[in-house]
Structure formats: structure tokens, C-alpha cells
Copies of this chain bind each other. A is one copy, B any other.
Amino acid sequence: MSAVLLAIGGENGAALTGSNTTYVIIAAAIALLALGFAAGLVKAVLATDKGTQKMQDIAGAVQEGASAYLNRQFKALAVLVVIAVGLLWLLPADGGNSIRFGRSAFFIVGALFSGFIGWAGMSLATRANLRVAAAARVAEGGRETAMQIAFRTGGVVGFLTVGLGLFGAALVVLLYKGDAPTVLEGFGFGAALLAMFMRVGGGIFTKAADVGADLVGKIEKGIPEDDPRNAATIADNVGDNVGDCAGMAADLFESYAVTLVAALILGSATFGNQGLVFPLIVPALGVLTAIVGVFITRLRKSDKSGMTAINRAFYISAAIAAVLCGAAAYAYLPSSFSGLATKDADILAHSGDPRLFAIGAVVIGIVLAAIIQALTGYFTETSRKPVRDIGKAALTGPATVVLAGISVGLESAVYTAIVIGAAVFGAYLLGGGVLLLSLFAVALAGCGLLTTVGVIVAMDTFGPISDNAQGIAEMSGDIDEKGARTLTDLDAVGNTTKAITKGIAIATAVLAATALFGAFTAIMRTALEKSGADAVSTAAKLDEYILKTLNVSDPRNLVGLIVGAAVVFLFSGLAINAVSRSAMAVVFEVRRQFRDFPGIMDGTQRPEYGKVVDICTRDAQRELITPGLLAVMAPVAVGFGLGVGALGAYLAGAIATGTLMAVFLANSGGAWDNAKKMVEDGAYGGKGSPAHEATIIGDTVGDPFKDTAGPAINPLIKVMNLVALLIAPAIVLFTLGNDMNTGVRIAIAAAAAAVIFVAVLISKRRPNAVDAAEETNGSEAHEKVNA
């Protein structure tokens, strides 16, 4: 029992020894090396050819729109960060005021890093897109250069992600040593909160523009994607950058940071000082292999598609990471558990070999990444059966395309969830019956996964850059057929890499969340001990109280579980709804322009691109408030309303349903998109056929699935997890503490629930574009909606 509920943080910590400090400093130095490589790659990318003047003009417009959006978003989020820091300061923390100050300060650092990576990713992507387009124009070797520029730009974002994540965590460990866990909570929370808002806001922007553009352009007017006559096309390209680039980069940084935080918290409790160092060594080695991975990604003439080159680099760098981590475990860790710096008797008495334990856990994480890569590829690549089946379903119309995509998504989610579950179970078994060790093994598996993040981010950023390059090339018209073909191929690869990233991201959410359950229990225990209540006055009573509180079969906990699952559904529904609403506003604006400027269709008049960018910017800001409040307030309502046990069950429910929902949404969306590409490549009648129209409808349904709701579930889970960790002591205080006050507790819960309810109501009452359009014409509708 003792190991299960051991207090985490502080107790085992103490000061780092000299050699351990050296290792942490080396990890920080490797993190800075990654940042250096990022700077070098930026220079190399910017040095390439910028293409024709027309291309530069278009890219300039995209860049301007993207910067305007991000500036506006940062202003809004700055207010939020200030409020959050204030609230954070109010919450009790172990270790006194200096730790509480550190937690708030590193909350800001986490948020700043998250925001910076998003901004940097977007800035560079808007400069790389036209360079990729320019490279594709070169007849000899153009395909290879275009791929390399896109991938290396992604590499920059990858290096920034791993560099800043590792640097931040190492810094906290150096400064706060044994108290690092509490401060790390702040760092992770800052990263996750900002990432969630950037994911949701960017996701709404990009899909409102994309769906809106498709509905009028492809479906009503029959003009191709990225046709310059479509007023929404610049907004669509801006969206690729603010959603798929900035939002994704912030999200991946958050995944990196929170997983690392979970490993350090558990490591400190399990391995003592060594546990604060080893989880930094693993990702530091990951940085080195990421550098290798990014530089060996080169398209060979013999490669069938960009995916071949990417897969090769991914698997090679994963294998190197596994070998290096094994060597590090042998070099750094003692050969028996009794040699560890921990004070936990169960762990010291454990008969295994901590080196094998650590290697096993890290390898589980790396293998998990590789399996998700393969599985997602299977379900979303154009050459495989699932996507081909969706394409075939187009023969019987859009309804069967939608149904087939939903089936594929549901099924793929199941396999991914079971693989993640198997990884957790495998790590659990490594603990050999000591629960705390099992939890640390889960967290170390997360670190294993992190070694692949550098390459994963590079792969993902690759997607929107290729998409944008295609857009710029098509709009400028300055490209021949072969060059266009190159860019289309790269774009299809991007759809698969994007789905893979989402699978990996959600896997980090599950691993981090499972590990953080240990921290949650420990925080509960410390707070209960402090309460001095009679019900927990002896160690045995305390143990029993905690176990009873966290009992699966308690009806309160079942209610918590159902509400946790429900929040995932509500969040997804709100995000999809937000896209529908904003997309309708875009549709009416584009229709208005076609009507008011008849010259657009024959090319004699230029559409007002900026108006659509404005609509998307405003709507994205407004629409992200409700899901954001839901994420922060729902754990408060459940925790204070139903108790700390129900809050734990709530997290478990959100994790289980969230994992499935996230993969379902990502993979069905990716599969529909590629089914459309398959038909566009000539299958079942090709472009313009009824099958094409049917797959366009499938793709449009999938847009908010894969790029708004789905990817936002990962930061949602992390945010809720960290909010739960932060409020747990306060809940215990109000339930059992000396200043126990049921009235205040219920009032807090009711207030949180009311905030959510009002926010949902307001977002539903917002006049939607169609309401307005029913009475007036599109133009006035637009004015009304955005008044």
C-alpha cells in the first residue's frame, strides 16, 4: 500500500548531487544545441529561391493575414494569461510561497514558449511556402528540393519544440531541485492552456475558410480549389498557417512539455534524484536523433512518394534513439533498485534491474510511436484498402461516402486505443507489482515517445507548407503541369503525416494522464493529511479513505466518469458547430462578392480577399471562448460538486472517450481527404464526376473533424488534467478541512457550471449567418452577423 500512495514531490527530492547537476546541465546544453540547429536551418531555407513576383505577392498577402490573426489572438490570450496567473496564485501549493511564485512564473514561461513556437512555426511556414512552390518549378531535381525545403522548415519547428521543452524542464529542475514537481505543474499548464486556445482558434479559422471556400467554389461554382476567383482562397491559405502550423506547433510543444513534466514528477517520487535526471537524458538523446532524422530525410529518385522518404527517416532515427537510450540507462543507472536515491522501501526492495526497467519502458514508447505511424498510415494513405473503400462508396453517392468514412474512423480509433492501452499495460507489468514503479514506467514510455517528436513535428509542419505551396502555385499560374503534380503529391503525403501526428499526440495524452494519476493521488494524500480530519487521522484510515474515494463502483464516481466522457462530446460538438457557423458567414460573403462583382468570374475584377480573412479572424476569436471555458470550468464544477474521487473518475472518462474521439475524428477526416484525392487522380470517373462530388462532400464533413475538433481534444485532456491537479488540494480543504464549508464548495461548483451553461447559451444564441440570410441578402447578413 505504502508505495501506491506515497507523497510525490518534496519528500524524496532534496538537493541534486554534483554529478547529477552536471547531467542536467548537459541536457540543457543539448536543448540549446537544438535551438542553434533551428537557427541554422532557418538561414538555409530563407536562402532558397523566392519564385516569381506574382508568387511573392500572393505569399505576402497570406503572410500578412496570418500575422494579423496571430497578433490579435495573442492580445486576447495575454488577458487570459494574466487572469490565469491570478487564479493560480490563489490555489494552495506544497512548499510555501517561493514555490507558488515559481509555479506562476513558469506558467508564464510555458505559455510564452508555446506561443513563441506557434508564432515561429507560422512565420517560417509563410516564408517557406512560396520557396517550395518555386523549387517545384525546376524541371531537374525540383521534386527533391521542394520536399527538402518543406521538411527542413518543419525541422526548425521540431527543433524549437524539443529544444524549448527540454530547456524549460531542465531549468526548473536546476532551480527548484526536489520542489521541481510543483513548479513543473505550472510550466505544463501554461503550455497546455495556450496550446489549447491556439489549436481551437486556429482550427476554427482554417476550417471556416476551407469549408466556406469549398462550398461556394467547388460545389456551387464548379471552380477548382485555390482558384484566385474565390474570395476565400487567401483566407484558406492563411488558415493552413494559423491552424495547421501555429496551432499544431503549440500543441506538440505542449505534449512534449506535459509528458516530460509527468515523467519528472513520477521520477522524483520513484527514483529520487536519479528520477529527476533520467527523464531529461532520454529526450536529450531524442534531440540528437531528431537532428539525424531531419537531415537524412531526402527524397531518392527511386522513392515512390514522399511518404517513403519520411518513413525511412522516422524508423532509422527511432532505432538510433532506442540504442542510445539503452546505452544511457547502462551508463547512468545502478544495477539494482537498492542503489537508487529513493527512500521508498518497496522500491528499494524490488528485485529487478532498474536499467532493464528503464530500457523496457523507453522502448515501449518508441515502439508505440512506430505502430501508430504504421496504423495511421494504413487507415489514411491513398494506396490502402480503407481509403479505397471510401472512394468506391462514392459510386453510390455522398451518403455512403460519409458512412464509410465514419466506419473507418471508428474502427481505426479502436485499434489505436487498444495499442495505446497495450503500451500502458506493458509498462504496468514492468513495475512488477509496485504501483508507483508502474506509473513511472508509463511516464518513461512517454519519454520514449518524445524521442520521436522532433521528426514528428517536422513531418507535420510539412503538410500545411505543401498545401500552401500548392495554393500559391495554382493562384499565381506560374507553374507547369509537372511542378503542379509534384506539389499535389506532397500535399497528399501531408494528409497522412497530419493524421499520424494527431495519433502520437493523443498517445502522449494517455501516457501523461495515466502517469499523472499517481501525482493526483499523492496530492490528495498530502492535502488529506494536512486537513487533520478525524476520518483520516491514522495511516490506515487515510489509506482506506483514499481507496474508497477512488472506488470505480461508487455511483458518484460513475457520474463523474459519465460527465468526463460527456465533456469530450460537448467540446467536439461545440467546435464543429463553431466551424459550421463561421463557414456559413464565409459562404454568404463569397456569394455576395460573386453577385456584386460580376467581373470576378471572367477575371476582370479582383475579389476582396481581406474581407474573408477578417470574418475568419473575428469568428475564431469569438468562438473559442465557449470550448475554452468548458475545459477549465468543467473539472472545477465536477471536483467541487461531486468530490475529489469523482474528479479522478471524470479524468478517466475524459481520457478514454477523448482518445477514441480524437483518433476517430482525425482518421476519418484524413481518409475522406485522401479518398477525394484518389478520385481526383482519376479513379471512379475522376474530377467532375458524381463520385468526385460525393468525395468532396465527405471531405467537407471531415474538415472540422480532423482540423478543429479532433486535434483540440489532446490539449483539452491535458488542460483538464492539470486543472484537476491544481484544484485537488482546495477541494480536499473544502470537503474535510478545518475550515470545511459545504456551502462555499457547492457555490464554487454551481458558479463554474453556470459559467459553462451561460457560455453555451450565448454561443447558441449568436445569430447565425443563415438566420440573417433568410431575411436579407448575403452582404447584409454578413454585416449583421459580425455587428
Residues of A within 8 A of B (CB): 1, 4, 211, 215, 219-220, 389, 392-393, 395-400, 402-404, 406-407, 409-411, 413-414, 417-418, 420-422, 424-425, 427-428, 435, 438-439, 442, 510, 514, 517-518, 520-521, 543-544, 547-548, 550-559, 561-567, 569-570, 572-574, 576-577, 579-580, 583-584, 587, 642, 645, 648-649, 652-653, 655-657, 659-660, 664, 697, 700-701, 704, 768, 770-771, 773-774
Contact = CB atoms under 8 A, between A and B. Distances in A.
A437 B551 CA distance: 16
A700 B569 CA distance: 22
Contacts of A521: 553
Given A543-B544, A552-B649, A569 B660 contact: yes
Contacts of A410: 569-570, 572-573, 576
B520 A400 contact: no
Given A397-B219, A550-B552, A584-B396, A562 B659 contact: yes
A573 B411 contact: yes
A645 B399 contact: no
Nearest to A663: B569
B425 A555 contact: yes
13 contacts: A1-B544, A215-B399, A398-B398, A406-B573, A407-B576, A409-B573, A411-B574, A414-B570, A518-B553, A552-B649, A557-B652, A562-B655, A562-B660
A514 B559 CA distance: 9
A663 to B, nearest CB: 9
Contacts of A577: 404, 407, 411
A406 B396 CA distance: 21
A393 B770 contact: yes
Nearest to A513: B558
A587 to B, nearest CB: 6
Contact of A520 (B550, B553, B557, B697): B553
* Closest CB pairs A-B (n = 5): A410-B573, A399-B700, A547-B547, A517-B553, A565-B656
A597 to B, nearest CB: 21
Contacts of A579: 403
A420 B563 CA distance: 10
A551 to B, nearest CB: 5
A435 B554 contact: yes
B399 A553 contact: no
Nearest to A418: B566
A681 B458 CA distance: 53
Contacts of A645: 552
Nearest to A588: B396
A457 B534 CA distance: 51
Nearest to A684: B774
A225 to B, nearest CB: 15
A638 to B, nearest CB: 10
Copies in the complex: 2
Contact of A652 (B435, B550, B561, B655): B561
Given A410-B573, A424-B555, A552-B552, A656 B655 contact: no
Given A563-B418, A657-B660, A555 B396 contact: no
B428 A660 contact: no
A514 B409 CA distance: 30
A770 B580 contact: no
A577 B439 CA distance: 38
Contacts of A403: 576, 579-580, 700-701, 704
B4 A548 contact: yes
B215 A396 contact: yes
Contact of A514 (B400, B517, B558): B558
Nearest to A516: B553
B563 A642 contact: no
Contacts of A411: 569-570, 573-574, 577
B417 A566 contact: yes
Given A425-B555, A562-B659, 5 more contacts: A215-B397, A422-B559, A425-B559, A543-B544, A550-B553
Contacts of A404: 577, 580
Given A393-B580, A552-B649, A584-B396, A657 B573 contact: no
Given A407-B577, A414-B573, A584-B400, A547 B558 contact: no
Contacts of A771: 392
A642 B425 contact: yes
B438 A555 contact: yes
Nearest to A558: B514
A557 B552 contact: yes
Contact of A558 (B562, B573, B584, B652): B652
A417 B583 contact: no
A176 to B, nearest CB: 25
Contact of A660 (B548, B559, B566): B566
Nearest to A411: B573
A547 B655 CA distance: 22
A156 to B, nearest CB: 35
A775 to B, nearest CB: 12
Contact of A648 (B439, B552, B567, B576): B552
Contacts of A418: 562-563, 566
A396 to B, nearest CB: 5
A514 B552 CA distance: 10
A413 B770 contact: no
Contact of A402 (B215, B402, B438, B566): B402
Given A393-B580, A417-B566, A561 B400 contact: no
Contacts of A561: 561, 652-653, 655-656
Contacts of A657: 565, 656-657, 660
Contacts of A1: 544, 548
Nearest to A556: B428
Contacts of A547: 544, 547-548, 551
A572 B422 CA distance: 22
Given A561-B652, A569-B414, A657-B657, A774 B392 contact: yes
Given A400-B215, A407-B577, A573-B407, A652 B428 contact: no
A368 to B, nearest CB: 13
Contact of A392 (B427, B517, B555, B770): B770
Contacts of A413: 566, 569
Given A215-B399, A399-B700, A561-B656, A576 B414 contact: no
B399 A211 contact: yes
A146 to B, nearest CB: 31
